[in-house]
Amino acid sequence: MSWKDQHVLDFKGVKPEQIRTFFSKIDSLPKQNLPVNSHIVAHNFFETSTRTKLSFNTATIRCGAKPLNFSASSSSMLKGETFLDTLLTVQAMGVSAFVIRHGFGESLREVSKNLKVPVINGGEGISGHPTQALLDAYTILKERGQLEGERVLFIGDIKHSRVARSNFELLSLMGVKMGICGPESWLPTGDEYEFELFDSLEKGLKWATVCMALRIQKERRLDKTGGNFESELQKFINGYQLSQKSLKHFANDGVILHPGPFNREVEITSDVLNDSRCKIWTQVENGVKVRTALLAEVLGLR
Ligand code: CP
C-alpha cells in the first residue's frame, strides 16, 4: 500500500512496512527538482505556521508542482463562508491535493469525505500532526540507525500537543519505546499507548536514547493566564527544562529533538542548540525531504 491518491490524516490502517518503504524513498529522492507538471497543491493554513507551511511550499516546488497559498485572514471566511465551503471553492479551481492546517472543532476526517482530491493533515487542533511525526521518526532513524528498540522521552506539555499524539501513534507502530515526564497536569490521560512515566527529568534522561522537548501550547490551554499557569510554568522550568546541566544525565550518543517553534530559556536553554546531540535544524531539513517524498507519493509522481 502507498499514499497515492489517499488522504494522509493519521496512521490508522498504516503498516510498519509502508513506513519503512516510504523512508527508503526519501533516501532516493533526486537532488534536482522533479520534472515540471501541471499539479497545483492548495496550502490552506487556517492557523499560523512557519516550518510546516514553508516546507510544504518548498516540497511542492521540488515536486515540479505549483503551490496555491491561502490566507485565512484575507479570505471570504471573514464574510461568513464556512471551512468546508472554502475548501470546496478551492477544489473547484482544479487543485490536485490539499495541505490543511486548522484548529476548528471539525474533524479533518469528516471534512475530507466531501473532497475529491487527497488531503494531507498539516496539523489539526490537538488531535494530530502526522507529517511532523514522520519527520521526527525519519530523523531518529537517520541519527540512531534504527527505530525499533529506541527509547524516546517526551518532555513537558504532552497533554495539549498534537505532535506528541501523532508521534505516539507512529512510534508505537514502529516498535519504539516511549517515556513521558512533566508536571502532572500536563501529562496525557488514558491508556491508548504504553509509556514509562518518570517522576524526574534526570531519571527520564538516564533511560532515554532520544529526548523530545515540547512547546507549551499556551494557545490551546484554558488556564493560559493567572497564578496557577505561572506557577506551573515555573515548576516546569525548574524541573523539566533541557539545559547543559540537565543534559549531563543524557547519553553522549543520544539525540535531542524539538518540533519547533521553541521558546528559548523555557523548554530549552540557548546553549543546548550548540550541543552536538541537538538535531533541531536537522528536523527542519528532514521536514522538506519527508514532505517532498509524501507529496510525490500522493500525486503519483516518480
Ligand atoms: N512544528 C511545526 O508544526 O511548526 P510550525 O507551526 O512552524 O509549522
pLDDT tens for 41-71 read: 999 999 999 999 999 999 999 999 999 999 9
The atom of ligand 1 lying closest to the CA of 123 is 3
Q: What is the pLDDT of residue 92?
A: 98
Rounded to whole angstroms, how far apart are CA atoms 238 and 234?
Answer: 6
Residue 103 Cβ inside 6 Å of ligand 1? The answer reads: no
Residue 286 Cβ inside 6 Å of ligand 1? The answer reads: no
pTM: 0.96
- Separation of CA 261 and ligand 1 centre (Å): 6
- The DSSP bridge pattern shows strands 97-102 and 66-71 to be unpaired
Rounded to whole angstroms, how far apart are CA atoms 200 and 240?
Answer: 8
**Residue 89: how many CA atoms within 13 Å on its side-chain side?**
11
Q: Who contacts 254 (Cβ-Cβ below 8 Å, separation ≥6)?
A: 205, 208, 209, 210, 211, 277
pLDDT, one tens digit per residue, over 261-295 is 999 999 999 999 999 999 999 999 999 999 999 99
- Separation of CA 290 and ligand 1 centre (Å): 14
Q: What is the mean pLDDT of residues 83-107?
A: 96
DSSP 244: T
Q: What is the mean pLDDT of residues 152-164?
A: 95
Which grid cell sits at 299? 500525486
B/e letters for 58-76, b = 16+ CB within 10 Å, e = fewer, are bbbebbbbebbebebeeee
CA angle 283, 284, 289 (to 5 degrees): 90
Helix intervals (H) in 161-269: 162-173, 201-207, 227-240
Contacts of residues 93-96 at CB distance under 8 Å and 24 or more positions apart, as own/partner, are 93/40, 93/42, 93/68, 94/40, 95/40, 95/41, 95/42, 95/68, 96/39, 96/40, 96/41, 96/65, 96/299
- The DSSP bridge pattern shows strands 40-45 and 66-71 to be parallel
Q: What is the mean pLDDT of residues 240-253?
A: 97
pLDDT, one tens digit per residue, over 181-237 is 999 988 998 889 999 999 999 999 999 999 999 998 777 666 666 667 788 888 899
Provide the percentage of residues in the chain whose pLDDT is more than 90. 89
Residue 127 Cβ inside 6 Å of ligand 1? The answer reads: no
Q: What is the pLDDT of residue 233?
A: 87
Rounded to whole angstroms, how far apart are CA atoms 89 and 86?
Answer: 5
Longest dimension (CA), the chain: 56
Residue 81 has pLDDT above 80, yes or no: yes
Cis previous bond, 259, omega within 30:
no
Residue type, 260: G
Q: How many CB atoms lie within 10 A of CB 231?
A: 11
Among 82-96, 97-111, 207-221, 225-239, the minimum mean pLDDT is found in 225-239
Select from 113, 122, 112, 98 the least CA-distant residue to 43. 98
Residue 261 Cβ inside 6 Å of ligand 1? The answer reads: yes
Residue 67 Cβ inside 6 Å of ligand 1? The answer reads: no
Q: What is the pLDDT of residue 216?
A: 87
Q: What is the mean pLDDT of residues 65-85?
A: 96
Q: What is the mean pLDDT of residues 145-152?
A: 98
Distance from the Cα of residue 121 to its chain's centroid: 10
Of 119 and 106, the structure prediction assigns the larger pLDDT to 119
Of 216 and 34, the structure prediction assigns the larger pLDDT to 34
Sheet with strand 66-71: strands edge to edge: 66-71, 40-45, 97-102, 119-124
Give backbone dihedrals phi and psi of 45, rounded to 5 degrees, phi first: -105, 115
Distance from the Cα of residue 136 to its chain's centroid: 7
Q: What is the pLDDT of residue 221?
A: 66
Select from 95, 130, 61, 115 the least CA-distant residue to 292. 61
